[in-house]
Structure 1
Amino acid sequence: MGVVVMGQIGRDLVLRTADWPAEGGSEPVLDRLECLGGKGANQAVGLAQLGVPVALIGVVGDDPDGTTARGQAASDGIDVEYVARRGRTALLVTVVDAASNRRLLEHSPQDAMLTVNDIAQAGPVIDTCDTLSIQLQQPAEAVLAAARRGRRAGIRVAVDGAVEPDVRDELAELVDVWRADAEEAEMLSGGPVRTVGHASALARRMLGARATVAAVAVPGVGDLIAWPGGRRLFPFSDTEVVDRTGAGDAFVAGLLFALRRNASPEHAGSVAAAAASATVARLGGRPDLTSLAV
């Protein structure tokens, strides 16, 4: 197995309107998209499109939406053996206006979150992969259990997101690649991260004693990639933005795709930036990265 992705799986409902409805009013829906979604699923789809063997660790409901989501992931070429089924499937509703502003409504029942037992059940696939990618929106105990298992197996451990301070130090000792979007960067830093200088300082902390690559989004500017001894900023492209949903998931998919091919952090950053750029040009978080699979 190549990459194992641990994270959210859900049903995505994406609506595009010309404007937000006035209070008490309504607004016609111009486009409607329903598909497999969630940060874990989106990243796994992107990796599969890039030709990477990928397995998904996550939870779908014991309901029709869960059956549909699991079946869609399988049809995308993703190994779903370790996708648990219980409760209700997570639902993500995104509304995007003509100016590409978006609002997200998210229903993630507690049953839809991963547990330490889920990680133990998925142990065989973690032990035999070369890269484990963990979305940090999952409970801390499950995140740490997965990262510890990955470290014991001697594989690359990548994380996407932020964690509470009481978890951060241990996680930093287990991680090889760490990525944070603008909001997550502020959580990690404890203050605003609005400039390249702020992002560089945070990236140095994220690299810590072990990590070899850190990626930090700078609002309105671009993505900073840092590694021991160097850094490079990848400005946001001038691609017309339709929907920013899923850009970070595609970024991580592109980054890991390139790093697995022994690319330098700088080159991997360029692939990641291209993957994110391709995704913001589409409605919804589901990527289409097949053109980058070279």
Structure 2
Amino acid sequence: MKTAVVGSINMDMTVTAERIPLKGETLKGDELHYIPGGKGANQAVAMAKLGAEVEMFGCVGDDEAGQKLVKNLQEAGVSTGHIRIVKGVPTGIALITVGENDNTIIVVAGANNCVDKEYVDSIKEELFQCDIVLLQHEIPQETVEYVVDICTERGIKVVLNPAPARPVKQEILEKVTYLTPNEHEAAILFGNDCSTEELLKKYPEKLVITQGSKGVAACRKTGEILLVPARKADVVDTTGAGDTLNGAFTVEVAKGRDIESALKLANTAASLSTEKFGAQGGMPTLEEVIKEMKAYK
């Protein structure tokens, strides 16, 4: 089983504070950290920590941050042989404020904008060797659509995590194998005319909606709504929790697990990831997740 992530690679500049500042307000920060991130890279690291064979496809700048990020992926067990180093373009940056067990994030795309159709054409033969591909929205939309098109034509499963939220063409939504928005992102994709339950029933065992502290929901092919409740966590930092869930879910469905089993493991992994600081630093191993699932049960 070989998995792939096509997406963003960022350096996170994370400041911790007592709380997140209000509009126009200045607060004293506690600490500033430079931490490897990017939704794509986070998801790849989560998958590698869970034991998957995963390759990261994306772009970084020819700067110190880019070098550190590629090395970090390699040390996590992610294949990086086809990451493109773009001259004269800075590596992507995410500015993150952490406070009150929550966060705000501003992303400056940088080299992530160079993950274009030409780049995908240059790596598509390697991409076609994979069993499943995970995508997000921190690279150009036309690239996301192109990867969905060429992978589905080859019968390769595609998981689309539509974050950050932006509209997606209906034909792309129909083509992906799994779609994993949160409630806000689902409203951007589908509007507010349908309830969560109605949406889930429209896309059984395809649409997975994360609901924060309530857990994660999907619909079985029988029409029964499946709600996997959130595990109680001693939250330190929620950054990367959604990426952990998506990475874990992708690994599990690639193994052929049923949707309930995949979501239970992914939900537990995401919860564990919030108990340590940093998006990737708190991501658990498969052994840690299984141990916690047994204890929690």
* Counterpart for residue 177 of structure 2: 176
Alpha-carbon distance, 1:143 to partner: 1.0
Deviation at 1:32, TM superposition (A): 3.9
Amino acid at match of 2:74: A
Deviation at 1:131, TM superposition (A): 0.5
Deviates further, 268-277 or 7-16: 7-16
- Per the alignment, residue 88 of structure 1 pairs with 90
**2:271 corresponds to which residue?**
277
Deviation at 1:223, TM superposition (A): 1.1
What residue is the counterpart of 1:54 in the other structure?
Answer: 54
TM-score (norm 1): 0.87
Q: How does 1:110-125 map to 2 (within 5 A)?
A: 112-125=113-126
Q: Is the 8 A contact 1:20 1:27 kept in 2?
A: no
Deviation per residue, 1:204-230 (Å, 9 max, x gap): 3445xxxx4321023542210224224
* Deviating more after overlay: 136-145 vs 33-42: 136-145
**Contact 2:59 2:111 (8 Å CA) reproduced:** no
CA contact (8 A) 2:63 2:91 kept: yes
* Distance in 1 of aligned mates of 2:189 and 2:112: 27
Separation in 2, partners of 1:21, 1:141: 35
Q: How many residues align?
A: 283
Distance across 2 between alignment mates of 1:65 and 1:251 = 26
Residue 289 of structure 1 is aligned with which of 284, 290, 294?
284
- In 1, the alpha carbon distance for the partners of 2:25 and 2:198 equals 46
Q: Distance in 1 between matches of 2:113 and 2:36?
A: 15
Contact 2:39 2:138 in 1 (8 A): no
Once the two structures are superposed, residues 87-119 of structure 1 have per-residue CA deviations (whole angstroms, 9 ceiling, x without a partner) of 11111121112x213222321137634211111
In structure 2, give the amino acid aligned to 1:43: Q
- Contact 1:59-1:85 within 8 A present in 2 as well: yes
TM-score normalized with structure 2 length = 0.86
| Paired amino acid for 1:9 | I
Q: Could you tell which deviates more after superposition, 169-178 or 53-62? A: 169-178
2:73 aligned partner: 73
* Equivalent residue number for residue 224 of structure 1: 217
Q: Secondary structure at the match of 2:176?
A: coil
Q: Which amino acid letter does the alignment assign opposite residue 122 of structure 2? A: Q
Partner-residue secondary structure (3-state), 2:175:
coil
Q: Could you tell me which runs of 5 or more consecutive residues in structure 1 were left unpaired when the two chains were aligned.
A: none
Q: State whether residues 82 and 121 of structure 1, in contact with CA within 8 Å, keep that contact through their aligned partners in structure 2.
A: no
Give the partner amino acid of 1:11. Answer: M
1:223-277 per-position Cα deviation (integer Å, ceiling 9, x unaligned): 1022422431122222122222111111111111221222111111101110110
% same residue = 24
Unmatched runs of 5 consecutive residues or more in structure 2? 292-297
- 5 Å-filtered alignment, 1:180-191, equals 180-191=181-192
Distance 2:26 2:275 in 1: 29
8 Å contact 2:74–2:80 — kept in the other structure? yes
Deviations 1:164-205 (A, max 9, x none): 65x422213321111001221110121288xxxx22222234
SS of residue paired to 1:11? strand
Measured in 1, the distance between the counterparts of 2:76 and 2:212 equals 32
Instruction: Name the stretch that deviates more: 155-164 or 274-283.
Output: 155-164
Aligned partner (choices 197, 200, 210) of residue 197 of structure 2: 200
Task: Compute the displacement of 1:15 (Å).
Answer: 2.1
Q: What is the SS of the residue equivalent to 2:270? A: helix
CA RMSD, 1 decimal: 2.4
Q: Structure 1 111/262 Cα, relative in aligned 2: closer, same or farther at 3 Å? A: closer
Amino acid at match of 2:199: L
Q: Specify whether residues 293 and 50 from structure 1 end up closer, same or farther in structure 2 by C-alpha distance, changes over 3 A only.
A: farther
Q: What CA distance in whole angstroms lies between the structure 2 residues aligned with 1:170 and 1:46? A: 29
